């Protein structure tokens, strides 16, 4: 039932076969209809990283959370549809000194058994939890990959993992993927650290990202960033109505969120934005 509700959320009526075409379809539809976000965390109620709970949340609300939730749910669906899928340990980094870090801050999905002429090994990186990164599954073959306005690089494909470089416009620099542990206890421990109020990476500023065919739209705090074929634009959203409308444009469901909660979050994000601007000018 959870898989059926998930597929319905993506606009798919009949469970599709475990083919590459299906994998691409699921990947694209998920990113278009289930944005990457940390709304519940910013409202003080971090959602469970249990994969079944995440999958049910997508079917019922159309929201999931960040990578642990998004990829955890997709893993269940892929298994249910008959794909050969495993999870991998991921470490997203921005500064070079942090590139080889062992901290689990990203959950990666690896799908095998789908060979093509360009990818004879048939191994694919599937990831709906990287926010503004790739829209289609990426072949685990070293090289550059152009998707819309972005260029990505997969290099150092190793038996124990691979390295990834994001586009220069991206919100992070790269990802290191390894075979370090990704058991539920490991994910839960990392989730607890990432969501510590005020200090956790996902508890500092609201982030909502929607990767679509033309590029990516990101709301970070009160700044809306659009990256497409025409370049990159940034818009400050001081006005509550404009900010609320941006959440709707990002396809973020808000039926279970009180209006007062959203207004308070907007005010908090705008105050933090003003502090950031003042510090940048100092």
Give catalytic residues, as residue numbers: 67, 106, 127
- How far apart CA 71 and CA 109 sit, in angstroms, is 7
Structure tokens at 21: 């075409």
Residue 206 and residue 221 in contact, taking contact as beta carbons nearer than 8 Å:
yes
- How far apart CA 157 and CA 137 sit, in angstroms, is 16
- How far apart CA 216 and CA 161 sit, in angstroms, is 27
Residue 73 and residue 54 in contact, taking contact as beta carbons nearer than 8 Å:
yes
Q: Which of 104, 123, 107, 105 is nearest to 115 (CA)?
A: 123
User: Considering just the CA atoms, what is the radius of gyration of the chain in Å?
Assistant: 18
Query: CA angle 176-170-221, nearest 5°?
Result: 110
Q: State the burial class of residue 82 (Cβ atoms within 10 Å of its Cβ: 0-12, 13-18, 19+).
A: middle
């Amino acid at each position: 039932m959870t898989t059926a509700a998930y597929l319905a959320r993506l606009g798919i009526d009949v469970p599709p076969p475990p083919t590459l075409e299906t994998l691409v379809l699921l990947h694209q539809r998920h990113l278009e209809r289930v944005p990457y976000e940390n709304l519940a965390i910013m409202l003080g109620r971090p959602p469970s990283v249990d994969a079944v709970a995440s999958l049910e949340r997508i079917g019922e609300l159309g929201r999931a959370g960040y990578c642990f939730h998004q990829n955890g749910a997709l893993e269940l669906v892929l298994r249910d549809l008959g794909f050969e899928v495993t999870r991998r340990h991921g470490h997203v980094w921005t500064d070079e000194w942090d590139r080889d870090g062992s901290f689990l801050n990203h959950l990666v999905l690896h799908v095998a058994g789908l060979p093509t002429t360009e990818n004879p090994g048939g191994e694919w990186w599937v990831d709906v939890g990287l926010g503004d990164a790739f829209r289609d599954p990426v072949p685990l073959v070293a090289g550059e990959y152009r998707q819309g306005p972005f260029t990505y690089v997969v290099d150092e494909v190793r038996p124990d993992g691979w390295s990834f470089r994001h586009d220069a416009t991206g919100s992070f620099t790269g990802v290191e993927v390894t075979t370090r542990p990704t058991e539920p206890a490991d994910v839960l421990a990392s989730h607890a650290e990432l969501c510590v109020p005020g200090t956790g990476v996902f508890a500092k500023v609201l982030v909502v990202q929607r990767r679509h065919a033309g590029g990516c739209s990101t709301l970070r705090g009160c700044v809306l960033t659009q990256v497409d074929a025409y370049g990159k634009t940034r818009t400050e959203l001081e006005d509550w109505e404009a900010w609320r409308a941006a959440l709707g444009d990002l396809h973020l469901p808000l039926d279970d969120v009180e209006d007062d909660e959203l207004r308070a979050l907007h005010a908090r994000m705008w105050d933090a934005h003003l502090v950031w601007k003042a510090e940048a000018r100092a």
